[in-house]
Amino acid sequence: MTIRSAGLATLLLALASSAFAAAPPPFTARYEVLRNGDPTGEATISFSAGADGHYQLRTITSGTSGLAALTGLHVEETSVLSWRGQQPETLRYDYVQKVGWKSRERHLRVDPASQRIDYQDKDRDYSPTYRSGVLDRHAITVALMQDAALGKSGDLLFWVPDKDSLQPWHYRTGATSMLQTALGPQPGLRVDRIRDDDSGRKTTLWLATGRGFVPLRLIQSEDNGETIELRITSLR
């Protein structure tokens, strides 16, 4: 990155920081979903404020071609969040996936007042120990947007319920580069998830520095070589 572009990125971060004092602004973004480079579906991510002072992040993914369309793939994820100062915390998370005749569900309930977490995965119930600022795996996106807007960089850490424990999820910010998107050329801040195991799984996303740090692109690589990618197509 040149000194001039670095200065521009710093200015954008500073401007976004003042706007993100409480929570990111509402948005609705649509994405093309690709599997191993081939179009397979579409996804919509929306973030909105509720009348009760809480916030909702919702992602809906549907198969539109190939096997995903044939099996009727449909996934809905919903996170309800509160804001503690400048940081989000999950209050509720619901995940429902339907493929053909099969379905899978996850549900999370967090009660900060009683410091209790109830987590259900399939037909198993768990109660990990409460920790302030806990996030579900879906809400990590908003947390990354918030941290980027506040000018945080380098290593970022979030605590996510996983069965009977809270697991640290590590992310690391990288360079800002220009991405060619359906919205036109957009500067995107690269963020990688850092895993402590040798599974070979990789997660990389790019946040739009000039558009409220909304995700522009996400690539998830599995240990079997399969790749799922989201590319933004519209934003409002």
Residue 15 has pLDDT above 90, yes or no: no
Q: Which of 53, 123, 117 is nearest to 90 (CA)?
A: 117
Residue 14 has pLDDT above 70, yes or no: no
195-220 pLDDT tens trace: 988 778 999 999 999 999 999 999 99
Q: In whole angstroms, what is the distance from residue 110 CA to residue 86 CA?
A: 19
30-48 pLDDT tens trace: 999 999 999 999 999 999 9
Report the DSSP beta bridge partners of residue 184: 181
Q: Which of 227, 203, 230 is nearest to 217 (CA)?
A: 230
Burial 151-177 (b: 16+ CB within 10 A, else e): eeeeebebbbbeeeebeebebebeebe
CB 34 within 8 A of CB 40: yes
Q: Which of 131, 92, 127, 104 is nearest to 115 (CA)?
A: 131
86-134 pLDDT tens trace: 899 999 999 999 998 889 999 999 999 999 999 999 889 999 999 999 9
Which residue carries 């609705």 as its tokens?
A: 28
The domains of the chain, with CATH numbers, are 3-235 (2.50.20)
User: What token pair was written down for 110?
Assistant: 């967090």
pTM metric for this prediction: 0.88
Q: In whole angstroms, what is the distance from residue 33 CA to residue 227 CA?
A: 10
Task: Give the per-residue pLDDT at 20.
Answer: 55
